Structure 1
Amino acid sequence: MRLLTFPVAAALLLAGCVAFVVTAYSEYRSLGELTRQENVRADALRTQVLIGRVYNLLVDLETGQRGFLMTGDVSFLDPYEHAVRELDSRYAELKRTLAATGDAQSQAFGRLDVFIADRRVQVEQNIESRWRLGEAALSNLQGWVAGKQLMDEIRGEMERLDSLQQKRITDIERAVAQQQERTRLLAQILPLVGGVMVAAAMAALWVERQRRDVAERALRESHAQLETAVQERTRELTGALDRIQSFAAELDRSVEAERRRLAREVHDQLGQLGTAGKMLVLSLGRKMAPAKEALLDEMLTIADEVIGAARRIASSLRPPLLDDFGFAAAVQHYVQGLERQSGLVVVVDLASDERLSSEQHNQLFRLLQEAATNVLRHAQAQHLTIESRLEEGEYRLRIEDDGIGPGPVRVDASGLRNMRERAVLAGGRMDFGPAPQGGTRIDVSVPLQPGDTDDTSTGLAHAGIEKEEGWDEVSDR
């Protein structure tokens, strides 16, 4: 069972990251808490300072009046007057500071208010008595005792307030020490845990990488074996396809050779027999002249029909112009018959076919025949255009009609498949589809044989047609 997988490594890495995040958050919380504690400690220290200042002002109040009472020197009243001016404001500030910290000490300040007010009254009375009675005022021992008791009460309350602030400071310092200790422990433990988890995750990822490398090597080896098998199979299929194409081409050449032989036999045998019969009928007619025999005319008509049938059969099997003058001449002759038989208006504009091989002549002509047959059967067209041009080392033939256009191709339709196969046998390709202005367009491209390009028109084809037509006339005679 695989334990160190990528999900486990990801979980460890995530846990390590969480440990680092918790450490950072703890440090942040600790810093915030320490800042708060430090602020409280600073408030307590400020309160202690205010307590000391208020107490010092009370001491100045006491010592100023005592010095004046004992010596009668007015200069001793300076501390007293300063204390009188500052005491109220400092005392009120002390109250506000303690109230802001949440420790108003209402009872203590209630007592202090009474004590300080009474002592100030006593001090004022003592100073007034010294001004009025002089040194005789020193004999008032009861006033001295009452004043000392009040100062002791005031001193006790101030010391108690100071001790409370000191206790707050001590508690805060102890809490700060504890917080720092907790923070130190977390700062040591959590990064260590996070580091261990990250290290474990990296180890898991390394192990997983090793396993992936092994799997990738095995996959590459399997791919190489599969590629070798595919290449071998492709070579076998390519060889088989080449053999099939070679067989198809050889079969087509054999069919064409047989067509050529049959056309020759039909033309030579039936044509010669028809011509001989016609000559005999003509000779017999001359011998019987001036007598007339109706059967002789009928026999002469039959002989002409036999000669014409032989010529048509031979031409349909293998047009003589295709072997003697090439594709363009054969097309011109074929189109003439097509127009006579179907009523189509055919426009022919063919480029020079001198750089086509005999095999290409034959395949293009058979492809054209198949296309024209499809037009007659299905297109319901009125016009047919056959044109070609030499372009980029290719002979490009276009057959276009103005019929209803291509419909759904039937599964058992063999005409389109035959045309594609003939284009391939000619070494080229065929595109079939709708024409821009409606109807159907067939584009065939075959490579030209090496040689000089000749873009001349079809003058040689016309000459061939004239020669064939002349040959037919000789045969008729």
Structure 2
Amino acid sequence: MRYSWLPFSLLLAAVLAFVGAAVGTSRSLAELLVRDTERSEAMRTEADLQRLKTLLLDIETGQRGFIITGQQPFLRPYEEALLELGQLKAGLRERLARAGAPSLSLQRLDQLVRQRLEQARVIIARRVSGGDAVMRDLGAYAEGKRVMDDLRFEIDQLSQGQQQRVADADRASLEVQQRTTRLGRLLLGAGIVALAFALALMFRERRLRDTAEAGLRQANATLESQVAQRTEELQRALARIRSFAVELERGVEAERRRLAREVHDQFGQVGTAIKMLTLSLRSKLAPRTEPLVDELQNMAEEAIRSARQISAALRPPLLDELGLEAALSHYLQTLQRQSGLTTTLTLDAADALAPDQANPLFRIVQEACTNVLRHAGASALRVTGKPWQQGGVDGYLLEICDNGQGPGDVRPDASGLRGMRERSTLAGGSFEFGPAPGGGTRVGVWLPLQVNEAAGGGDAGGTW
């Protein structure tokens, strides 16, 4: 496994070898095309040189025929050769210069061609004006022969140069072909060898990976079994913790209920007794008045009110006596009277809730209302409840909505939200916090109507 880079390196080397062979072949083809172009150019130039020689011979032939016969038709080869010679000379000189022919040779060739054409023109003109007398001028014949011999020599020299170019191009092409063949065989052979080694190593790597994967699957199976066992243990522990939390919550509520009764019975009775004694003392002192008696009566009444408020805060008596709807209605009316917040309560089929579910819902409404007063800056608060099916489970949905500034940047782990979420979870339901549809903040709690007995009536696992 540590050497998995090796087959990839060999594959890369094989690819590079094939690419190198392709690039080398492409370059060789390009070079062969250049050599072929040079060879074609040289052969065309040589053919033009031979054509030049042929045209000069046609001029010589036409001149002699006209001198001998004096008839105009014998000048036709001469005239046609002159016409073609003018077109041939320009292209031929350009190709010879491009091929690197010596400039002196080109100048001498041009000079000899002009000289021979001038000789032919003069002899023809003399034959036209002097008749047969021109045939006895051996000097002109000898001079024309000399110029033609020089022309043949120059043309042959230039032709040999073009032939040498053809031979050089053929030799260079052969060398390119041989070099390309050797390089292609070498690179293709190296690529095939590298590819074979890479495939062998990849097959070996595949076998090692299959073995490792089998070991991993076996380890995963063992690990999954251990995880499943551990998960089951954690779930049992979580169920025990939840059950303990539910029992603890019940114990806290029972203690609240006991303390509420104690405060109401003890402090309330003591305050009432003090108030009665004060009233009796006032009647005995009448018609005389005593400010201390009035102050004592006011303190007794304040003690009675405080005892009632503390008792209601610990455990609203209406919650146990008349149920959730009456307790919430009294709480919201008190909240509206004390804070000026407009409150609305609408509960449908609240009696479908179990008695153990009324207390967490009441506490969640208390905490939500406290958050509204502290943070929302709202002027109205609406509490609604209705039966609601969630995931195929019948439940009850309670919503608290305000018209304040909305949730904003409230942290999801804030203490108030965390407390409401924990209460809904312990009751077996789910909790949601976010913006209200018309603006403001919405708090939603969903509790199942049928609760898991194992959790003491408060641990049904709903997700909402």
Pick from 148, 168, 171 the counterpart of residue 168 of structure 2.
171
Q: Unaligned regions of 5+ residues in structure 2, if any?
A: 286-292, 390-394, 452-464
| Partner secondary structure for residue 350 of structure 2 | coil
- What is aligned with 1:132? 132
Aligned-partner Cα distance in 1 for 2:371–2:140: 145
Change (3 A) 1:395 1:344: farther
% identity of equivalent residues: 42
Aligned-partner Cα distance in 2 for 1:251–1:82: 133
TM-score, normalising length: structure 1: 0.65
Q: CA deviation at 1:350?
A: 3.8
- What amino acid sits opposite 2:38 in the alignment? V
Q: CA deviation at 1:328?
A: 1.6
Paired residues for 1:362-381 under 5 Å: 362-368=359-365
Q: CA deviation at 1:240?
A: 1.6
Aligned partners of 1:390 and 1:396 also within 8 Å: yes
1:187-229 deviation line (CA, Å, top 9, x unaligned): 3333333333344444444444444545555555544444444
Aligned-partner Cα distance in 2 for 1:23–1:355: 85
Pick from 15, 21, 24 the counterpart of residue 23 of structure 1.
21
- What amino acid sits opposite 2:81 in the alignment? E
- What is aligned with 1:38? 36
| Partner secondary structure for residue 352 of structure 2 | coil
Change (3 A) 1:179 1:294: same
- What is aligned with 1:56? 54
Paired residues for 1:354-365 under 5 Å: 354-365=351-362
1:249 aligns with 2:250: no
- What amino acid sits opposite 1:34 in the alignment? L
Aligned-partner Cα distance in 1 for 2:377–2:408: 14
Aligned partners of 2:24 and 2:183 also within 8 Å: yes
Change (3 A) 1:344 1:236: farther
Aligned partners of 1:363 and 1:422 also within 8 Å: yes
- What is aligned with 1:426? 427
Pick from 179, 185, 189 the counterpart of residue 186 of structure 2.
189
1:82 aligns with 2:72: no
Change (3 A) 1:337 1:192: closer
- What is aligned with 1:467? none
Q: CA deviation at 1:357?
A: 0.4
Structure 1, 413-422 or 30-39: larger mean CA deviation? 413-422
Q: CA deviation at 1:446?
A: 2.1
- What amino acid sits opposite 1:33 in the alignment? E
Aligned-partner Cα distance in 2 for 1:141–1:343: 147
Aligned partners of 1:267 and 1:314 also within 8 Å: yes
Structure with the greater alpha carbon radius of gyration: 1
Paired residues for 1:39-438 under 5 Å: 39-60=37-58, 62=60, 73=69, 78=73, 82-83=77-78, 86-87=81-82, 90=85, 93=89, 94-103=92-101, 104=103, 105-106=105-106, 108-109=108-109, 112-113=112-113, 116=116, 120=120, 131-132=131-132, 152-257=149-254, 294=284, 321-333=318-330, 342=338, 347=343, 349-351=345-347, 352-368=349-365, 385=381, 387-393=383-389, 394-399=395-400, 417-431=418-432
- What is aligned with 1:444? 445
Aligned-partner Cα distance in 2 for 1:375–1:45: 104
TM-score, normalising length: structure 2: 0.66
Q: CA deviation at 1:356?
A: 0.5
Q: CA deviation at 1:249?
A: 1.8
| Partner secondary structure for residue 351 of structure 2 | coil
Aligned partners of 1:364 and 1:426 also within 8 Å: no
Aligned partners of 1:53 and 1:90 also within 8 Å: no
Aligned partners of 1:388 and 1:395 also within 8 Å: no
Aligned partners of 1:65 and 1:127 also within 8 Å: no
Q: CA deviation at 1:423?
A: 2.4
Change (3 A) 1:359 1:187: same
Aligned-partner Cα distance in 2 for 1:156–1:206: 74
1:215-248 deviation line (CA, Å, top 9, x unaligned): 5555555444444444333322222221122122
Aligned partners of 1:344 and 1:384 also within 8 Å: no
Q: CA deviation at 1:64?
A: 5.8
Change (3 A) 1:433 1:27: closer
| Partner secondary structure for residue 384 of structure 2 | strand
Q: CA RMSD in A?
A: 5.5
Q: CA deviation at 1:371?
A: 5.7
Q: CA deviation at 1:360?
A: 0.8
Aligned partners of 1:115 and 1:153 also within 8 Å: no
Aligned partners of 1:13 and 1:197 also within 8 Å: yes
Q: CA deviation at 1:425?
A: 2.9
Q: CA deviation at 1:86?
A: 1.6
Change (3 A) 1:114 1:327: closer
- What is aligned with 1:466? none
Aligned-partner Cα distance in 1 for 2:409–2:55: 116
Aligned partners of 1:12 and 1:200 also within 8 Å: yes
Aligned-partner Cα distance in 2 for 1:161–1:439: 104
- How many residues align structurally? 425
